[in-house]
């Protein structure tokens, strides 16, 4: 018979479950993916409510099924169009299939590694309080690049090009030069 219990001990990817006064041996735990396509792992927590499914009637050779809501761990959003995950540090991931909106609220850092390239084919705006990009080289390719606001360049400036306004540098306003001006 299946039994509800509470995880009371963890070793690697196995757990012992307290069912009343009885404590099981270390049992395997169902994870959402474990095949050649993908392998997932969600860390186990002592105090997590689970279901033990016995194998051949023996709870000590059973498996653990996770994901049962409990008083301390209830779903915050049960909208029928929304998939969401809330992590213990406050990070929140949410996808709404009706609005096709992905929302990610991260408490600290996001690290993205892309070996080849990323492509985005829509106009967009990135709103941020402050932004710093660190790279060996940054190349911007566009017919026109607009910098709105005060601009500070700490390093040499080089312009090149042919014809039209290419290779020219225009200043509307005052020029304050500290150092020498060389014209060739």
C-alpha 55/C-alpha 20 separation (Å) is 19
For 3-65, CATH number?
2.40.50.230
Give the list of residues 6+ apart from residue 65 with CB closer than 8 angstroms, or none: 30, 50, 51, 52, 53
- What the block records as the tokens of 4 is 């509800």
Q: Looking at the chain, which residues constitute the CATH 2.40.50.230 domain(s)?
A: 3-65
Average pLDDT, the chain: 88
Q: Give the helix, strand, coil percentages of the chain, each rounded to 5.
A: 0, 30, 70
pTM over 0.85: no
pLDDT digits (tens, 9 = 90+) for 107-157: 999 888 888 877 777 777 888 888 888 889 999 888 888 888 888 888 877
Report the candidate in 74, 79, 73, 29 with the shortest Cα–Cα distance to residue 53. Answer: 29
Please tell me which residue, 19 or 183, carries the higher pLDDT value: 19
Q: Which burial class, exposed, middle or buried, applies to 138 when counting CB atoms under 10 A from its CB (0-12, 13-18, 19+)?
A: exposed
What's the pLDDT at 87? 93
- Arithmetic mean of pLDDT, 43-62: 94
């Amino acid at each position: 018979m299946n039994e509800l219990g509470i995880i009371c001990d963890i070793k690697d990817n196995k757990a012992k479950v307290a069912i009343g006064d009885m404590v099981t041996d270390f049992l395997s735990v169902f994870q959402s993916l474990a095949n050649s396509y993908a392998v997932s792992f969600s860390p186990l927590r002592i105090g997590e409510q689970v279901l033990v499914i016995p194998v051949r009637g023996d709870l000590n050779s059973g498996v653990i099924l996770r994901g049962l809501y409990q008083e301390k761990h209830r779903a915050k959003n049960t909208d029928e169009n929304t998939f969401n995950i809330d992590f213990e540090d406050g990070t929140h991931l949410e996808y709404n299939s009706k609005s096709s909106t992905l929302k990610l609220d991260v408490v600290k850092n996001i690290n993205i590694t892309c070996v080849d390239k990323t492509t985005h084919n829509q106009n967009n705006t990135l709103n941020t309080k402050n932004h710093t990009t660190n790279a060996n080289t940054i190349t911007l390719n566009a017919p026109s690049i607009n910098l709105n606001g005060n601009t500070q360049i700490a390093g040499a400036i080089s312009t090149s090009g042919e014809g039209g306004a290419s290779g020219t540098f225009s200043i509307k306003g005052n020029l304050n030069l500290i150092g020498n001006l060389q014209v060739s």
